[in-house]
Amino acid sequence: MLKLFKPVFYVCGLLSLMMAAMLLLPTTLGWFHQDSETHAFLVSAGISFIAGVFLIAAFRPRKFSLGPRQLYLLTCCSWALLSVIGALPLIFGHDHIRFTDAVFESVSGITTTGSTILTGLEYMPHSLLLWRALLQWIGGLGVIGMAVSILPFLHVGGMRLFQTESSDWSDKSLPRLADLARSLFLVYMLITTGCILGYWINGMNLFDAISHALTTVSTGGFATDDRSMGRFGPAILWVSVLFMLLGALPFVMFIRLLTQPSLKVFLDQQVRGFLLIVAVLTLIMTLYLIGQDIYGPFEALTQAAFNIVSVITTTGFASTDYTLWGGFSLAFFFFVTFIGGCSGSTSGGMKVFRFQLSFMFLIRQIKLLVHPRGIFSIRYNGKEVEDDIIFSAVAFSFLFFMVLVFTTMVLALTGLDFVTSITGAATALTNVGPGLGDIIGPAGNFAPLSDTAKWVLSFAMLLGRLELLSIMVLFSGVFWRG
């Protein structure tokens, strides 16, 4: 058993050292502003550093290698570790946030969900606000790396459809993985820098521009004010729309665009499908807002585009309380919650490609009913899709809705009403952020929920972020007997 865990704990040690270094950024900012959280960040950095050194020293393997079972363990252990470390500044901070609330906030940050238990954000120290933004930025980068290298290799939820030469964990492929990691980090930094400049040029102060850029590109949704993005004008909202969309597109596409500049990269079937869905949904909601005389044409387009892109990319920003737009709006945003962005992006949700595969599978089944002896293949991006990829995507979808039902029932048992229970479960599993209703809606907060509900939602956020199967496989006896 130790042989199974040894390289996993070693990598967790490296991640702990990385988090210690990241904690020094808000520590420095806190020292500069002489705010009350500086000591908490310094203590947290020290704990993370000591834990990292211990794990590396105690579990350093003679020959480093990771098999499929260890990758499952690493995926789960690393995200759990980052969540605990992320909670430390909140626990040791001046306000002494309770352990459950601190872990909930940290899990929400590292999974780029954006649900929060904090209020009065505009009065909080800048160091704490920066840390919340950094958690989401780190989580977004981790999501991309996991989606393009680990999950395709593990055949999770149809992800093998996007397997590249770097989605291979054999020794000969490690140099390619290192090159991929550097390229992803470079692209991530470039888009984040562009977002910072876009916000700053259009009127945000530098701190707000940096904080919001970190949570926009990571499609996280943590803001520096309880009003989220509602305090900013149309120009900033449109900048946010642009960079939320960029965050929801496959980052491998941007790498190809840098190495081989060509507009052909935008012909990707998943990208075209995603952008078409966004355009159609925005048009529908814009016409609805104009028809209901809620906004004028331009403001209707701005509010519809911003809030739809925020939900479909699973960012979770809000410019207004869209639940006040009527019953159609409630149903509309509830179903949009499930869609998500593209595979290999920072966004959560079920991902567009699974809807596309399911639709093509449905069409094939209809054709087979008419022509039972016919042979009909499913092609995606010009390549024939193997049946095991279809089966994996269908299994993921079935598991997703089973977990959604179970989580909803558990939340209802804690005393929550049906709307709060089902939208809370949905927003956690899809990593969107706000739910619907008076409690956890766009104008609400997760603080009133019971500790039990917060732990359930924290686990659901991790499940959704790790594509469900990566965690569920650990609960099977065959995994531990393997």
Greater confidence, 361 or 176?
A: 361
In tens, the pLDDT along 133-146 reads 999 999 999 999 98
The pLDDT of residue 158 is above 60: yes
Mean pLDDT, residues 182-194 taken together: 95
* DSSP per-residue string spanning 46-111: HHHHHHHHHHHHHH--SS----HHHHHHHHHHHHHHHHHHHHHHHHHSTT---HHHHHHHHHHHHT
The pLDDT of residue 172 is above 60: no
The pLDDT of residue 265 is above 60: yes
Least confident piece of the model among 152-166, 207-221, 291-305, 429-443: 152-166
How confident is the model at residue 254, as a pLDDT?
Answer: 92
Least confident piece of the model among 13-27, 246-260, 275-289, 442-456: 246-260
Mean pLDDT, residues 266-290 taken together: 95
Greater confidence, 416 or 170?
A: 416
How confident is the model at residue 405, as a pLDDT?
Answer: 97
- Please, is 106 exposed, middle or buried when counting C-beta atoms within 10 Å of its C-beta (0-12, 13-18, 19+)? buried
The pLDDT of residue 174 is above 70: no
How confident is the model at residue 134, as a pLDDT?
Answer: 97
Residue partners of 369: CB distance under 8 A and separation at least 6: none
Please provide residue 384's backbone torsions phi and psi, each rounded to the nearest 5 degrees: -70, 135
For residue 214, give the amino acid letter. Answer: L
How confident is the model at residue 374, as a pLDDT?
Answer: 85
Report which of 118, 132, 110 is spatially closest to residue 15, judged by C-alpha positions: 110
Mean pLDDT, residues 233-244 taken together: 97
Mean pLDDT, residues 228-236 taken together: 95
For the chain, what is the mean pLDDT?
A: 91
Q: What percent of the chain has pLDDT over 90?
A: 72
Rounded CA-CA distance 25/9 in Å is: 25
Q: Which two tokens stand for residue 15?
A: 């991640």
How confident is the model at residue 464, as a pLDDT?
Answer: 95
Least confident piece of the model among 154-158, 308-312, 359-363: 154-158
The structural domains of the chain, with segments of one domain joined by +, span 251-336, 360-481
Least confident piece of the model among 133-137, 212-216, 242-246, 477-481: 477-481
Instruction: Tell me the Cα Rg of the chain.
Output: 22
The pTM (predicted TM-score) of the whole model is 0.94
Least confident piece of the model among 60-64, 77-81, 296-300, 395-399: 60-64
Mean pLDDT, residues 87-94 taken together: 91
Mean pLDDT, residues 275-283 taken together: 97
Residue partners of 223: CB distance under 8 A and separation at least 6: 121, 211, 212, 215, 229, 317
Mean pLDDT, residues 460-466 taken together: 95
The pLDDT of residue 278 is above 70: yes
How confident is the model at residue 286, as a pLDDT?
Answer: 98
Q: What percent of the chain has pLDDT over 70?
A: 97
Would you say 93 and 2 are in contact if contact means Cβ atoms under 8 Å apart? Answer: no
Rounded CA-CA distance 415/218 in Å is: 33
How confident is the model at residue 117, as a pLDDT?
Answer: 94
In tens, the pLDDT along 394-433 reads 889 999 999 999 999 999 999 999 999 999 999 999 999 9
Largest CA distance in the chain: 75
How confident is the model at residue 166, as a pLDDT?
Answer: 61
In tens, the pLDDT along 91-101 reads 998 777 899 99
Residue 5: how many CB atoms within 10 A of its CB? 15
Greater confidence, 104 or 395?
A: 104
**How far is the CA of 370 from the CAs of 303, 364, 367, 405, in angstroms?**
45, 10, 5, 34
